[in-house]
């Protein structure tokens, strides 16, 4: 079994140019499969709101839901670096609330780090959480919790003006004390620049290859999440098709009497058959016309 990685191992990987493979997971079995596959990190993203809870976005996701999913993932992947995603409302109000909630992730769900969205506007929160002893990862570029004000799920940093915001945010996140930063949906030219410019690990989701590692949403890569698929997703499986077909086959088997068969049942203990038959006869009610 591989040793669980931590901040120092990720810094070493950065130094050596070894890429980090990172995926989201929200439940025990997916976490188990990710760990078995040799995943370096798991994010319990607030994307769980859309991928497993059926919300139309991430805003309704609560701290309690995140903690509960993080606990399941921790049980499934005890030897993998797990990051808890701070949901909307858990860090915006004050430094105190942000620290309180980061510590909840740390104590109640045993995560290794937390992530929060935003650059300059959450600088103080990042510093407060980092100073409390919890590792914090920044998340800039496209930030789904503020996709409303951003005008939807839109790539960022495509123009010099927009790139300036991303660069300023990245510098702010690093200076504030984040141990890593995730870039979402920005051009690879900007990713490459930030990878060279920053000293902390730079990870990408939809921000191209020139950085320290990649994150992908499990529901997207496995073909579970049906509502939409961003351009930056590569599909590795079609779980929706596999599961729907299995369910259809089961429905058909039940209706046609092909399931269960003899191999799926428990038989009366050998030697008890006669006594058993007598027992059932004793409890057999007479048909109504005999009453």
φ, ψ of residue 135 in degrees (nearest 5): -70, 135
Measured from the CB atom, is 198 or 215 closer to ligand KIV? 215
Q: Binding of ligand KIV at residue 47 (CB under 6 A)?
A: yes
Q: Which of 40, 65, 169, 184 binds ligand KIV (CB under 6 A)?
A: 184
DSSP codes, 28-97: HHHHHHHHHTT-SEEEE-TTHHHHTS--SSSTT--HHHHHHHHHHHHHH-TTSEEEEEPPTTSSSS-HHH
Cis peptide before 171 (omega within 30 of 0): no
Q: Binding of ligand KIV at residue 204 (CB under 6 A)?
A: no
Closest CA to 138 of 163, 165, 170: 170
Measured from the CB atom, is 204 or 257 closer to ligand KIV? 204
Q: Binding of ligand KIV at residue 111 (CB under 6 A)?
A: no
Q: Binding of ligand KIV at residue 141 (CB under 6 A)?
A: no
Measured from the CB of residue 205, what is the shortest distance to ligand KIV in angstroms?
5
Stretch that binds ligand KIV, among 4-12, 45-53, 67-75, 249-257 (CB under 6 A): 45-53
Stretch that binds ligand KIV, among 44-52, 89-97, 240-248, 253-261 (CB under 6 A): 44-52
- List 100, 131, 184, 275, catalytic entry: 184
Q: Binding of ligand KIV at residue 221 (CB under 6 A)?
A: no
Measured from the CB atom, is 40 or 184 closer to ligand KIV? 184
Q: Which of 67, 180, 205, 216 binds ligand KIV (CB under 6 A)?
A: 205
Q: Mark whether 274 is an active-site residue.
A: no
Instruction: Measure the CA–CA gap between 6 and 9, rounded to whole angstroms.
Output: 5
Residues that bind ligand KIV (CB under 6 A): 24, 43, 45-47, 85, 139, 144, 182, 184, 205, 215, 217
Catalytic residue numbers read: 184
């Amino acid at each position: 079994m591989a040793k669980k990685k931590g901040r120092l191992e990720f810094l070493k990987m950065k130094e050596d140019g070894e890429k980090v493979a990172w995926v989201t997971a929200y439940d025990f079995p997916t976490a188990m499969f990710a760990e078995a596959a040799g995943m370096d990190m798991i994010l319990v993203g607030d994307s769980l709101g859309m991928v497993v809870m059926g919300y139309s976005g991430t805003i309704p996701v609560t701290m309690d839901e995140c903690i509960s999913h993080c606990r399941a993932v921790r049980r499934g992947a005890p030897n993998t670096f797990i990051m808890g995603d701070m949901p909307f409302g858990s860090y915006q109000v004050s430094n105190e609330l942000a620290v309180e909630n980061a510590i909840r992730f740390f104590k109640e769900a045993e995560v290794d780090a937390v992530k929060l969205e935003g650059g300059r506007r959450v600088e103080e929160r990042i510093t407060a959480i980092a100073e409390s002893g919890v590792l914090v990862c920044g998340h800039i570029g496209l930030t789904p919790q503020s996709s409303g004000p951003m005008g939807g799920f839109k790539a960022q940093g495509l123009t010099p003006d927009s790139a300036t915001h991303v660069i300023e945010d990245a510098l702010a996140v690093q200076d504030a004390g984040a141990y890593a930063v995730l870039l979402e949906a920005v051009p690879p030219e900007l990713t490459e620049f930030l990878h060279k410019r920053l000293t902390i690990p730079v990870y990408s989701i939809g921000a191209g290859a020139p950085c320290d590692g990649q994150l992908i949403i499990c529901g997207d890569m496995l073909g579970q999440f049906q509502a939409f698929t961003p351009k930056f997703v590569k599909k590795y499986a079609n779980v929706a098709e596999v599961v729907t077909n299995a369910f259809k086959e089961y429905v058909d088997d039940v209706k046609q009497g092909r399931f269960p068969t003899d191999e799926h049942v428990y038989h009366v203990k050998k030697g008890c058959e006669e006594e058993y038959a007598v027992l059932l006869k004793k409890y057999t009610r007479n048909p109504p016309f005999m009453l």
